[in-house]
Amino acid sequence: MLSATQGREHISSKSLADFVGVNSWQIRKDFSYFGDFGTPGVGYNIESLAKQIKKILRLDVVRKAALVGVGDLGSALLAYPGFRTYGLDIVVAFDVDPKKIGRTVNGVEIENITRIATLQERGISLGIVAVPHAAGQFTVDKLVEAGVRGILNFAPCKIDAPRRVKVITLDIAMELARLPYYMPAG
Amino acid sequence: MLSATQGREHISSKSLADFVGVNSWQIRKDFSYFGDFGTPGVGYNIESLAKQIKKILRLDVVRKAALVGVGDLGSALLAYPGFRTYGLDIVVAFDVDPKKIGRTVNGVEIENITRIATLQERGISLGIVAVPHAAGQFTVDKLVEAGVRGILNFAPCKIDAPRRVKVITLDIAMELARLPYYMPAG
DNA sequence: CCATGTGAAGGTATTCACAGCC
DNA sequence: GGCTGTGAATACCTTCACATGG
């Protein structure tokens, strides 16, 4: 992946900085907030650094996630291999459409949305909302009731949830709408 | 939409702040950087405020966008009605799969990816990249060659592009991976 | 000698309180 | 009276330069 690290045990803040496109002191300062990871004169041990960062980001344990809404976007998420990289595992999907219920997409079975209440007993603490706009708040409410602790919401709407549940909303259209701001004309 | 504004011409910074969940002085300060929009004792004229903000964000003109990669995610984007809200119009899609080329999804025809070079002459200045990881950089290069000015990239990889082209990368798995950070345990 | 970690300087953003206008 | 726009005060984050440790 990072060619500069091939066959090396250590990496300097400078190399890391060049790779991600920032300055070396930013790397050092950021790391220092969480403790002393590096060795002066040598650099950072790559393996131990990765382990430390994963622990800080709480990515050291695999967490189970439930997907709600198996439309185009939901299907894309089920097909997406990238989640495993970050210690996330989509183990179940829900939908309202009887035609979809019972099917298996990428090894994940689609269940009736009424079964959403069983999440807690199954040890699932994350929810992914990929439903139409109008169903957004309702779906979040159900997930909260089911004891979920974090929600990634793709529905483009204002969401109310108790403070104990962290909601991250990803409005894809709004992200795209940021682009024109950087474009002088045309 | 915003029930507090129904039948009203003006809205106060307090109402706006409550609605989006911030403090009233933040609203006023932010607006003040771009000029005087409001009337003391009255508030902000809703219609004129919306117009001003759209102009600042360069959302007052409709821009054409091209989608590259019509997989699950690409299909979801084509089906998504939200883009129009922000003055964005996906007018063409590209793919490499001969089975997909020629089909029409949501009124948008899928063309052979080799036709990507015709973007400039068609007045298309935005690109949306929804291709697999490995094709990310290649696709971005082609879009840049085709004269695109802004790119929304869903491929989870490091992208190099000239400074004149603004690239916004949206790594969905990474967004989901932010959630565990806010969750004490479980 | 090399690269880290950090105190200090500088700059930027947030928060406040109030003068001024409708 | 009510609400805006803004200077002042505060907190925060970024940048730098260097002492310290391997």
pLDDT digits (tens, 9 = 90+) for B108-147: 999 999 999 999 999 999 999 999 999 999 999 999 999 9
Whole-number average pLDDT of chain A: 93
Nearest residue to C15 (CA, C1')?
B25
> Between A183 and B123, whose confidence is greater?
B123
Return the pLDDT at B5: 57
Q: How far is A180 from chain B (nearest CA, A)?
A: 6
Chain B residue whose CA is closest to A20 = B158
Confidence band, pLDDT 50/70/90 cuts, at residue B4 = low
Beta-carbon contacts of residue A34 (< 8 Å; ≥ 6 apart):
A52, A56
- Cβ atoms of residues A139 and A68 within 8 Å: yes
The answer to whether the Cβ–Cβ distance between A173 and B87 falls below 8 Å is no
Return the pLDDT at A3: 47
Average pLDDT value for residue range B164-171: 94
User: Which residues on B lie below 8 Å from A152 (Cβ)?
Assistant: 175-176, 179
Chain B residue whose CA is closest to A130 = B76
pLDDT tens figures, A117-152: 999 999 999 999 999 999 999 999 999 999 999 999
Confidence band, pLDDT 50/70/90 cuts, at residue A81 = confident
Average pLDDT value for residue range A35-59: 95
Return the pLDDT at A6: 65
Return the pLDDT at B15: 96
pLDDT over 70 percentage in chain A: 96
Confidence band, pLDDT 50/70/90 cuts, at residue B100 = very high
Return the pLDDT at B119: 98
Confidence band, pLDDT 50/70/90 cuts, at residue A184 = confident
For A174, the 3-state DSSP assignment is helix
pLDDT tens figures, B12-48: 999 999 999 999 999 999 999 999 899 999 999 999 9
Chain A contact for B4 (CB, 8 A cutoff): no
Chain A contact for B164 (CB, 8 A cutoff): no
Alpha-carbon gap, residue B82 to B14, rounded angstroms: 28
pLDDT over 90 percentage in chain B: 85
- Cβ atoms of residues B2 and B19 within 8 Å: yes
Chain B contact for A174 (CB, 8 A cutoff): yes
- State the nucleotide closest to B33 in CA–C1' terms: D5
User: Who among B63, B171, B179 is closest to A180 (CB)?
Assistant: B63
Q: With residue B184 as reference, give the H or E element that holds it.
A: none
Return the pLDDT at B2: 52
Return the pLDDT at B7: 74
Return the pLDDT at B186: 63
B38-61 exposure pattern, b = at least 16 Cβ within 10 A, e = fewer:
beeeebbbeeebeebeeeeebbee
pLDDT tens figures, A11-29: 999 999 999 999 999 999 9
Whole-number average pLDDT of chain B: 93
pLDDT of residue A116 exceeding 50: yes
Alpha-carbon gap, residue B162 to A116, rounded angstroms: 47
Establish, for the pair of chains A and B, how many residue pairs have beta carbons separated by less than 8 Å: 137
Å from A156 (CA) to D1 (C1')?
A: 39
- Give the other-Cβ count within 10 Å of A173's Cβ: 17
Quick one: B102 exposed, middle or buried, by C-beta within 10 A (0-12, 13-18, 19+)?
exposed
Average pLDDT value for residue range A99-116: 97
- State the nucleotide closest to A38 in CA–C1' terms: C4
The answer to whether the Cβ–Cβ distance between B179 and A151 falls below 8 Å is yes
DSSP code at position B151: E
Within window 7-36 on B, which residues have Cβ closer than 7 Å to strand D? 11-14, 24-25, 28-29, 31-32, 36
> Can you spell out the DSSP letters for B53-73?
HHHHTT-SS-EEEEEE--SHH
